Amino acid sequence: MEAYRYPQPMASEITPRSYFLSRRTLIAGAAGSMLAVGHTDQTAQAAAGHAGGEAGWPAPEKPTPRNDVTQYNNFYEFGTDKSDPAELSGAFKPLPWSVQVDGMVDNPRTWPLEDLTRQFGQEDRLYRMRCVEAWSMVIPWNGFPLAAVLKAAGPKIGARYVAFTSVFRPSEMPGQRGGLFALKWPYVEGLRLDEAMHPLTLLATGVYGEALPAQNGAPIRLVVPWKYGFKGIKSITRITVTDRQPPTSWNLMAPEEYGFYANVNPAVDHPRWSQGSEQVIGEGSLFRTARKPTQLFNGYAEQVADLYQGMDLRKDF
Ligand code: MTE
């Protein structure tokens, strides 16, 4: 299915696809767009300076082909097969859209999507992504740090977590109309506040330089590259700051298989399969599957390991 487009105030800032071919230009593109939107906040600057390798974050590999990124998806609201989200999302209307930011904050606010992109811009971030099903991709996202939105909201003293809620629209999402396999709807996820404020944590509004296709979580979704993919909740309608650990959809479904933290960890196997290695989507051939070893925190240990000091990651998996 063709990726649709919708008007975005920052369209001129979106880096053309060809930029992703070179790490050096990727970094330049990110820094340029940050300057263009006049961002001065430190998190955003750090993030822009760290779009890839040389500035200290892991050097991104070659992006996964666009076709795999947009045709091989998990989005159970549209069905359980990898091809369902692309094939069965034709009725989904991503616009108009707004995101309610509420809970323990000084400035609760409902943001129209275009105000979010106008205020916070669109950086380019080439991230390794690792699904809990032991496959991986490298995805060129466009978006802004979640931290920027949370800072604008102003978390109150005592706030410790952030809860996220996906859209509930059974008339547009066939997977929400029942069937044999069903998560509880709406899909929900959560992060600890410090994880949510980390400069790597992104709200993505685009991929490969275009507005997110429905199957990738249009029009706005979470991206947390050191955690298993299911933390990356799609089509977000609400972000709630709270003092309680929020429920999460996969944990509610199978608590012994999916924990709250879901940090990528090759030493902690899923009860039904190994997490020691991963299939590299878009590489290999009919005759040979490309596999590589999985890295702790998906290769982002240097950036995020501090967040988990003193924790037993086998218990808090
Ligand atoms: N968000 C919602 N609302 N519904 C889902 O079923 N699936 C998750 C996550 N976010 C899911 C979701 C899972 S299991 C993964 S691996 C990623 O989205 C996949 O994102 P991608 O298709 O863009 O690669």
* Mean pLDDT per 10-residue segment, the chain (317 residues): 32 34 37 35 37 52 95 97 97 98 98 98 96 97 98 98 98 89 91 98 98 98 98 99 98 96 98 97 91 97 97 95
pTM of the model: 0.84
- Give the model's pLDDT for residue 179: 72
Domain over 28-308 is classified CATH 3.40.30.10 = no
Cα(232) to ligand 1 centroid in Å equals 6
Helix ranges, the chain (H) = 23-36, 42-49, 66-71, 84-87, 113-120, 146-153, 193-197, 249-253, 301-304
The verdict on the CB of residue 265 being under 6 Å from ligand 1 is: no
Instruction: Among 72, 139, 234, name the best residue to mutate to test ligand 1's pocket (greatest count of ligand atoms within 8 A of Cβ).
Output: 234
Cα(85) to ligand 1 centroid in Å equals 10
The verdict on the CB of residue 141 being under 6 Å from ligand 1 is: no
The verdict on the CB of residue 79 being under 6 Å from ligand 1 is: no
Q: Is 36 helix (H, G, I), strand (E, B) or coil?
A: helix
Any binding-site annotation on 14?
no
Outline where DSSP puts E strands in 62-180: 98-103, 109-112, 123-130, 135-145, 161-166
Nearest CA to ligand 1 atom 4: 75
- Give the model's pLDDT for residue 314: 95
- Give the model's pLDDT for residue 10: 32
Residue 296 · residue 266 · CB < 8 Å: yes
The β-bridge partners of 238 are: 100, 165
Any binding-site annotation on 24?
no
Nearest CA to ligand 1 atom 13: 230
- Give the model's pLDDT for residue 8: 34
Residue 62 · residue 166 · CB < 8 Å: no
Dihedral (C-alpha) 73, 79, 85, 88: value to the nearest 10 degrees?
160
CA distance 236 to 155: 19
- Give the model's pLDDT for residue 182: 72
- Give the model's pLDDT for residue 57: 57
Residue 82 class from Cβ within 10 Å (0-12 exposed, 13-18 middle, 19+ buried)?
Answer: middle
- Give the model's pLDDT for residue 296: 98
Q: Which atom of ligand 1 is nearest to the CA of 73?
A: 22
Burial 14-46 (b: 16+ CB within 10 A, else e): bbeeebbeebebbbebbbbbbeebebeeebbeb
CA distance 82 to 72: 5
Nearest to 162 by CA among 186, 189, 202: 189
